Every structure is written in structure tokens, then in C-alpha cells.
Structure 1
Amino acid sequence: MASSPKLTLTSGHILSDPTPYRKLVGSFQYLAFTRLAIAYAVNRLSQFMHRPTDAHWQAANRILRYLAGTPTHGLFLSAKTPLSLHAFFDVDWAGDSHDYVSTNAYIVYLGSNPISWSAKKQNGVARSSTEAEYRSVANTASEIRWICNLLSELGIRQTAPPVIYCDNVGATFLCANPAFHSRMKYIVIDYHFIRGQVQNGLLRVAHVHTTDQLADALTKPLGRQRFLELRHKIGVTKAPPS
């Protein structure tokens, strides 16, 4: 997706027949199950289903051109990888200029293989970047807890607690700080959910530099160089010739 200008509800002129747009974006939603690099773009275009314009249609065709140029790209799942869980999550705080709701995303890895990812808007407006990040880490922790339960039922035990990598110092510190601050009461449920898992040794939250935050590709449109760099790092590769 082009990094500028940003798509909004009022971009362009309303399509006389929105059906082709809705069918195309609906198909993208299924394709995003294996092509996680388009997860943000598909999520963004899905927000205009009720009122698509020609600008949204052009953005959808941009995804088609990208897919047509990378038909051999996909996820390579390696059999020789440690069965340990770790995740990256990121937030584009107040990135939507229409309602200022943040977009959060996460990618969960089993060893080196991405097995679960999501890119979607939060339920409400966050008053600070730390609040937005903390909401996202709670969503990521919930997904990891579900995956841990699934692996346990399959007989796969985790030898070390899963790690969630966060590039926000405030959110990382809040996860490790046993003191509860009164100014954080509006995220009290997420706070105690994360703190309980960290204290019980079921989870660890670690800081990672912004340049190494892989989930950045799922929260906002990026420039070509940064997008290609992250696409390779998150696990989307070109399949070898058969």
C-alpha cells in the first residue's frame, strides 16, 4: 500500500457499483491466511466495504499488481526448528486520521516459523502510546496462551516461557513493574492479566529496537525498501524452483 496519501472514507468518488470491490477484498481476506505481508493493506481496505470509492479501488488493484509480481512468494515452514514460542507486536498509535483509533498487530513464531498473525484496529481511542501498546501486548499474550494450550494438548511442552518483543519502553517497564499506578486504572484488566502471567513465569516481555520490530509491517504502509526488508525477515520468501 502506498505510504501517501493516506486512504480515508472521503478519498475519491463513491463507486456506482461496490460489488466488485467487496468481492475482491473478500478474496484478499482468504489470501492473507498465507500471505501475511498484505495483512495490513487488506485490513485497511476492509474498513471501506460500506462506502468504497475509486481511490479504494485503485489501492485494491495495487495489491493485485503486487501479487501478480510475486506469485512464487509464500511462507517456508522449516521442520528443523526449535519448538519455542516468541512473538512481535506493534501499534500505530492514533494512526487513523478519521477516528484516531490505533492499529495493532502481532506475529507469533514457533521457532522460526510464523504460525499466527493479526492486523486490526483497536476497540477505542488510546490516550497514550503506552496504553495502546499495553492493549496490544494483552491481545498478543492471549493468543500465545491459546497456542500454548493447543501445543500442550498435542504433547508439546514449552521448556522456557514465551517471549513477547515490544519496542515501547513504557509498556515494557509496566509489564515488569510490580507497582500499580493509579494513572493506569483505565487498563486495569489488561494490567493484571499480563502481570499475572509474568509473575507466574508463563510469559516474558522484552524490549526490542524499533528497527528490529517485525510487526511494523502489519501496522502501517511502509516505503518500498523497508517493506521488502521486513517481508524477508518475517518469513515471506521466494519458493525454490521445483
Structure 2
Amino acid sequence: MTNAKPVLTPMASSPKLTLTSSKALANPTKYRQLVGSLQYLQFTRLDIAFAVNKLSQFMHCPTDDHWQAAKRILRYLAGTPSHGIFFSSKNPLNLHAYSDADWGGDSFDYASTNAYIIYLGTHPISWSAKKQKGVARSSTEAEYRAVANAVAKLRWVCNILTELGIELPTPPTVYCDNVGATFLCANPVFHSRMKHIAIDYHFVRGHIQDGALRVAHVHTHDQLTDVLTKPLPRAHFLHLRNKIVVTEASPS
């Protein structure tokens, strides 16, 4: 695939991949080996994190469409071999995260995909794109679960920095584009209709009340983790790829 024709996005925005989208592969070994290798590459290329996560869901029964989608990632990588994350020595030590969820985005079981990106200054240092367990009954529930996952990882990063003797100038901030989830974080009154996510609620609220972090609303157009929750059209993907600081640079 080194000399294959490059593409500008790692995954097509349509049609959506399903378990029964085409004929099953007679020998799925190559597919599993390729996706397994891509799982390691996404440790430094967060722009392919969603595509790799999606293809990993079909490891047990890959089809021809899944194989073509996996090769599309290679075509995308062939066109962006020098892209990656640039870490500058001059970087502010403030911590913040973006959290998002694609409510009911899986057309097969209607499970949501949640994602987060954690930044230390301007550098992304931790990210995840993962399918939620169970079905969320509202977009607020799906988004709040995503916030809880981001907060858990954020607190882990804070503990690591504390052990290294690094003090943060301000408490970390989690940015969420769902108004309902943002208000739920700030509202001390727990609504009865949200009791089924009580554990996540009290987990996040506890850290907010302790002053360890805060949750703020961000406009949908400024939500960077969209690139980790769904396949995007070319223009939107390229715009977000630059904003999440996956850029072209010469190796240092």
C-alpha cells in the first residue's frame, strides 16, 4: 500500500459499517494483523483513533467492506507519513480536556461512542475513542458518561504530575458541548430522572465540589473530540485535525 493513491480521511463518512455489510472474509488473519498493528500506531496518531476503534469491533467476523476500510486507513497514512504530534519545550503547564459522545451512533445496537482528549498546555497527551457499554436513554446521559470517563483519566494524570513534583497553576477544565450535561455538573440538586447514572454523577460532583476541576460548556463547532466519535466529511476532518495539533513536521 506504500504507492497506493492517498486519501484525505481515514474513514468514509458513509455508508456506515455493520456486521453484515458484505461477504465475510474467507481468511480474516490479515485483517486482524493489520488492525492489531494500527492499534499501536494510534498511540501517536490520534487522527486515526476512531477508525481503528470502529474496525476493532469487527475482529471476530470481518467482511470485504471492513477489509477495504482497513486499507483506506493505510491509504490515508501513505499520504500523511510525516504527520504527528509536535512537542515543544516551551509549553504552559495547564491541564484541560475535551469530552464528547456520539449518542446512539451505532446503527446496529444504538450504543454511543464516547471520546476525550486531554491537553497539557497545547499538547495532546492522552486520548480515547471507545464504545459505551449499554444504551444511553438520552444525549445528556451519553455526554455525562463521557465526561465521567474524561474526569477519571484527568484525575489520574493529575496524580502522575503530583508524583513528579509538578504543580498546576489552575484546576483542570473539562469542556463539553452538551448544555444538559454541563448544567448537571453544576447543579447541586440531583434530578430523579438521572438516578440511573448516580455513580457517575457523584464521582464528577465530588471532584467539582473539592475544587479539583471544573466542567465548562464549549460550542459544538469548537468541540475537538468530534474527530474521535464519528467519521467526518473531508473539510471538517481536516479542520479538526489541525486543531487537535496533528500536523506535518520534520522529525527532530
Please confirm whether the aligned pair reaches a TM-score higher than 0.5, indicating the same fold.
yes
With the length of structure 1 as denominator, give the TM-score of the two structures: 0.99
Aligned residue runs from structure 1 range 173-188, under 5 A? 173-188=183-198
Partner AA of 2:109 in structure 1: D
Paired letter, 1:206: A
Find the aligned partners of 1:92 and 1:222 in 2 and give their Cα distance.
12
Alignment of 1:102-181 (within 5 A): 102-181=112-191
Alignment of 1:216-235 (within 5 A): 216-235=226-245
Q: Give the Cα–Cα distance (whole angstroms) in 1 for the partners of residues 250 and 52 of structure 2.
A: 27
In the alignment of these two chains, the number of paired residues is 242
Give yes or no for the alignment of 1:38 onto 2:48.
Answer: yes
3-state secondary structure, aligned to 1:131: helix
Identity %: 73
CA RMSD of aligned residues (A): 0.8
SS in structure 2 of the partner of residue 50 of structure 1:
coil
Task: Please state how far the C-alpha of 1:159 moved relative to its aligned partner.
Answer: 1.9
- What is the aligned partner in structure 2 of residue 53 from structure 1? 63
Cα distance in 1, alignment partners of residues 246 and 27 from structure 2: 34
Separation in 2, partners of 1:189, 1:159: 29
Gaps of 5+ in 2: 1-10
- 1:100 and 2:136 matched: no
Q: Residue 85 and residue 21 in structure 1: after superposition, are their counterparts in 2 closer, same or farther (change >3 A)?
A: same
Q: Which residue of the other structure, out of 70, 81, 89, is the alignment partner of 2:91?
A: 81
1:156-178 Cα deviation digits (max 9, x unpaired): 01121100000000000000001
- One-letter amino acid of the structure 1 residue matched with residue 211 of structure 2: G
What is aligned with 1:25?
35
Task: Return the match for 2:16 from 6, 13, 35.
Answer: 6
Q: Deviation at 1:240?
A: 3.5
Distance 1:25 1:241, change over 3 A: closer
User: Which runs of structure 1 show a deviation greater than 4 angstroms over 4 or more consecutive aligned residues?
Assistant: none
The 3-state SS of whatever aligns with 2:23 is coil
Give SS of 2:53's match.
helix
Residue 200 of structure 1: aligned partner: 210
Q: C-alpha separation between the residues in 2 aligned to 1:191 and 1:92? A: 19
1:95-120 per-residue CA deviation (whole Å, 9 max, x = no partner) reads 00100000000000000000000001
Q: Residue 208 of structure 2 aligns to which amino acid in structure 1?
A: V
Normalising by structure 2, we get a TM-score of 0.95
- Separation of aligned partners in 2, 1:234 and 1:226: 12
User: What is the CA distance between 1:89 and its match in structure 2?
Assistant: 1.0
Aligned equivalent of 1:69, options 66, 79, 100: 79
- Which whole-Å CA distance do the structure 2 matches of 1:12 and 1:56 have between them? 8
**Equivalent AA in structure 2 for residue 104 of structure 1:** N
- Distance in 2 separating the partners of 1:176 and 1:15: 50
Q: Distance in 1 between matches of 2:45 and 2:119?
A: 15
Q: Deviation of residue 81 (structure 1)?
A: 1.1
